[in-house]
Amino acid sequence: MLCLSLLAEYKMATGYDSVMPGLRRLAMESALGQSKVGSWGHKFALPDVRLAGYGMMNVPGVTLTISLVLARSAGVADPAIDLVIDRSIRYFSGTAIYHKKFTIA
């Protein structure tokens, strides 16, 4: 996750295209690791897009979403990445709304 965001920021700061193959590979692997509902877990999703391992985790999901947005800004263009970012935003927006209802003031 950290490598993805660092490579994206490096590309945007320097303009060096030499990092693009690695940046694209990391972005696509991360995108393909998302579950059907827009989350990531202890491991990347299985081929049937269900989470593997112990289940969903928000911290890697938020980090990967931000990293994929940075990768897209750095020039990684793929419809799959756009879909994954949109799905993640919908997932986390719904989570935030759900938890706001049950916040103790």
User: What are the pLDDT digits (tens) for 58-89?
Assistant: 888 999 999 999 999 999 999 999 999 999 99
Number of separate domains in the chain: 1
1 pLDDT band (50/70/90 cuts)? low
pLDDT value of residue 56: 84
Dist CA 37 CA 26 (whole Å): 21
**What span, in angstroms and rounded, lies between the C-alpha atoms of 22 and 44?**
18
- Torsions phi, psi for 56 (to 5 deg): -75, 145
Secondary element (H or E) of residue 41 = strand 40-41
User: Domain limits at 69?
Assistant: 2-101
Predicted TM-score (pTM) of the model is 0.86
What residues form DSSP beta bridges with 57?
40
For residue 9, name the pLDDT band (cuts at 50, 70, 90): very high
In angstroms, the Cα distances linking 14 to 8, 22, 62, 88, 91 are 10, 15, 25, 28, 33
